Amino acid sequence: MLKFKYLSNKKLSSMNSKGRMEEILKLIKEENIILIDGRLNSIDEANLIRETMNSINDEFNGLEIGIVHDNHEHNLITRIKHNIAKILIGESTGLTIIGPAKIISELKQNPESIEIYFHKDYINKYSKGTGKNNIKKK
Amino acid sequence: MIAKLKTVFMDVWDTIFADKRIFKLGIYGAPNSGKTTLANRMCKDVINSDSEFTDISNIAHETRKINVKEKLLVNRNGKKIEFDLIDTPGIATRIDYEVFVKAGMNNKEAKQRAREATKGVIESIKWLDNVDIVLIMIDSTKNPLNQVNLTIVGNLEARNIPFLIIANKIDLKSGKLEKIQQAFPKYKVIGISAKFSKNMDDLYDKLIVMRKKVKR
């Protein structure tokens, strides 16, 4: 079974950076794949990598992050609206996927799509008895 | 005569103001993108260093500590730049000691390397606050849109640090400069082969121009 956990941008925005990192890492260590509406800011992304490195041990080997977002150029008014929203509620456009490296072998991202490759061992473990396997292996 | 006077004047100018113009040049990127190969190449190219940085290998996380070479001097047709070169450990979101075991290390060595690699990543991130210009090394044979590259670009933008995207390994058949340029359309990408010293002059010319953006 794969567990997807939704984390709202609103909830994350109400926390400080340390709180956001703790929340994300807690869910990742519980083997959840996290979906966030929007994206972390760059500084948070670097903090997340740093905190992940601090947490690595024999059991936890890190995470994979992928982001899809609108990469198109917009006119001035749309950009202003977007920047105001960004200041008020954080970066709410796009979608962020964060998963444990133990489960996800690779996240291939393009501006408008993400391919998730799961570890073969993980798929074999959890698809036992179902006879079904619709996710990509690598 | 005028040209000779100009050269003499420039030499005197360089002697007086050289120290003030030294900047910190960081090389950042994912593991195995060629950061240390570039650092070694630059050490060979500059006019005042004859030693290389560190060893390179095909196993990821060969560089696990920040390495600094001070006061390297590049002279391009009379235009000089002087910088401290900082070779950083590769940034990664995952480090698995089993990968090192598969590469031939015993369990103890592999775990030690993994521990050092995690510290190296943390150091690299910390050093973002200490660099003036960054070269982001991207392996042009791989998909450039990975989170490490995006996070480095985003952090340099947020900190207002000028950077140059380097598509390395363009000597390889699978090296695709245009793919890197498409992934980062807002920025100028320079394709090089650090290993075979291809297009290094372009890189130095660009650095001379970028030097002016450093605010100190």
Segment A12-44, tens digit of pLDDT: 999 999 999 999 999 999 999 999 999 899 999
User: Which one has a higher pLDDT value, B60 or B65?
Assistant: B65
CA angle B59, B42, B191 (to 5 degrees): 75
List the single residue in B with minimal CA-CA distance to A40. B151
C-alpha torsion sign, points B6, B7, B13, B17: positive
Measure CB to CB from residue B96 to each of A67, A101, A111 and give the nearest one: A101
Which CA distances in Å does A10 have to A38, A92, B2, B97?
Answer: 10, 9, 66, 36
Assigned domain for A98 exists: yes
> What's the DSSP call for residue A130?
T
What number is the average pLDDT over the span A48-65?
94
Q: Is the pLDDT of residue A131 over 70?
A: no
DSSP A48-73: HHHHHHHH-SSS--BEEEEEE---S-
Assigned domain for A134 exists: no
DSSP A74-108: --HHHHHHHHHHHHHH---SSEEEEEETTTEEEEE
CB B170 within 8 A of CB B140: yes
Partners of A57 on chain B (C-beta within 8 Å) are: none
Position A78 confidence tier, pLDDT thresholds 50, 70, 90: low
In one letter, which amino acid is A77?
I
Whether chain B has a CB inside 8 Å of the CB on A25: the answer is no
Phi/psi for A72 (5° steps) reads: -80, 155
Tens digit of each residue's pLDDT (9 = 90 or more) over B95-135: 999 888 998 899 999 999 999 999 999 999 999 999 999 99
Q: Distance between terminal CA atoms of chain A?
A: 17
What does the pLDDT read at residue B63?
73
Question: Is A109's CB within 8 Å of B151's CB?
Answer: no
Tens digit of each residue's pLDDT (9 = 90 or more) over B8-61: 676 666 555 544 579 999 999 999 999 999 999 999 888 666 666 666 566 666
DSSP B44-113: HHSTT---------SSTT---S-EEEEEEEEEETTEEEEEEEEE-PPP-SB--HHHHHHTT--HHHHHHH
Measure CB to CB from residue A54 to each of B122, B145, B157 and give the nearest one: B122
Instruction: Give B114→chain A minimum CA distance, Å.
Output: 9
Domain residue spans of chain B: 23-211
Assigned domain for A75 exists: yes
Q: Is the pLDDT of residue B186 over 70?
A: yes
pLDDT > 70 in chain B, percent: 84
Assigned domain for A36 exists: yes
Partners of B125 on chain A (C-beta within 8 Å) are: 46, 49-50
Instruction: Give A60→chain B minimum CA distance, Å.
Output: 8
At a CB cut-off of 8 Å and minimum separation 6, what does A138 contact?
A105, A106, A117, A118, A119, A120
Q: Is the pLDDT of residue B140 over 80?
A: yes
Q: Report CA B76 to chain centroid distance, whole Å.
A: 19
User: Which one has a higher pLDDT value, B58 or A68?
Assistant: A68
Assigned domain for A135 exists: no
What does the pLDDT read at residue A129?
53
Domain B23-211, architecture per CATH: 3-Layer(aba) Sandwich (3.40)
Size of interface A-B (CB pairs under 8 A): 72
What does the pLDDT read at residue A33?
96
Assigned domain for A137 exists: no
Whether chain B has a CB inside 8 Å of the CB on A57: the answer is no
- Structural domain that includes position A114: 3-127
Assigned domain for A33 exists: yes
Instruction: Give B197→chain A minimum CA distance, Å.
Output: 30
Name the domain count of chain A.
1
pLDDT > 90 in chain B, percent: 64
Host H or E run for residue B166: strand B163-168
SS3 readout for A107-122:
EEEECCEEEEEECHHH
Whether chain B has a CB inside 8 Å of the CB on A53: the answer is yes
CB B146 within 8 A of CB B32: no
Host H or E run for residue A7: strand A3-7
CB atoms inside a 10 Å sphere around CB B201: 13
Assigned domain for A32 exists: yes
Partners of A65 on chain B (C-beta within 8 Å) are: 93, 147
What does the pLDDT read at residue B118?
94
Question: Is B121's CB within 8 Å of A53's CB?
Answer: yes
What does the pLDDT read at residue A135?
54
Instruction: Give A48→chain B minimum CA distance, Å.
Output: 9
Q: Is the pLDDT of residue A128 over 80?
A: no
What does the pLDDT read at residue B26?
97
CB atoms inside a 10 Å sphere around CB A80: 11
User: Which one has a higher pLDDT value, A116 or A132?
Assistant: A116
Question: Is A56's CB within 8 Å of B95's CB?
Answer: yes
